[in-house]
Amino acid sequence: MSRPAGTLALASLMTMLCAGSPVAAQDTDGEVAVARDLTAVIALQGLPCGQVVNASQQAENDYVAACENGDRYRVFVTKEGRVVVEKID
């Protein structure tokens, strides 16, 4: 059984977040790459955000992202490797 394409894309993005992507290596500020990757993960989930303006790492594979529209999300990977995006009230 194959995973849906969206799940694979999310997993790829989270892998880049965790392992560092070639794009991140080119940025003078790694936080810019993390914010860009989190923006993509949130958008792929179909959630409103616009652009991530601030991100903080809570633990390995676990971030809190603040969006330009004021929404905040927790983006993390479960033990099973599933990417989860939860809105924070």
Note the pLDDT tens digit of each residue in 4-44: 545 545 555 555 455 444 444 444 467 889 999 999 999 99
Under DSSP, is residue 50 helix (H, G, I), strand (E, B) or coil? Answer: coil
What's the CA gap between 33 and 74, in Å, rounded? 17
Q: What is the pTM of this model?
A: 0.70
The domain tally of the chain equals 1
Segments forming the whole domain that contains residue 44: 5-88
